[in-house]
Amino acid sequence: QKEVEQNSGPLSVPEGAIASLNCTYSDRGSQSFFWYRQYSGKSPELIMFIYSNGDKEDGRFTAQLNKASQYVSLLIRDSQPSDSATYLCAAYTGTASKLTFGTGTRLQVTL
């Protein structure tokens, strides 16, 4: 079982719709969670991070964390073609002092 799992996609949503990206993690000791966006041929860049159960909103992005279910999600409202990229979920585990990435979900926002 992978430590951080994501559906590889592609997830296709029409422009203006809500894109929902999901991630599960296996290590209950994971303390903080990150969403990175990676455009093709570029390096990952941080979109959101979340430490506590519940929702965290930043502009069009909302991160959701449910530690009991070991589940993290990222919602993108009013999706734009420029949101088309691969979204990487990552979990930080303090005991191992490391950040583990999922394999990413490719998002395609269609016109």
Partner 1 sequence: DTAVSQTPKYLVTQMGNDKSIKCEQNLGHDTMYWYKQDSKKFLKIMFSYNNKELIINETVPNRFSPKSPDKAHLNLHINSLELGDSAVYFCASSKQENEKLFFGSGTQLSVL
Residues that bind partner 1 (CB under 8 A): 8, 31-32, 34, 36, 38, 42-46, 49, 86, 88, 92, 94, 96-101, 103-104
Least distance from partner 1 to the Cβ atom of residue 108, Å: 15
Sign of CA dihedral 18, 8, 52, 70: positive
42 burial via Cβ count (<10 Å: 0-12, 13-18, 19+): exposed
DSSP annotation of 60 reads T
Q: Given the complex with partner 1, which of 5 and 17 has the nearer CB atom?
A: 5
Least distance from partner 1 to the Cβ atom of residue 102, Å: 8
> How close are the terminal C-alpha atoms of the chain, in Å?
36
Least distance from partner 1 to the Cβ atom of residue 45, Å: 7
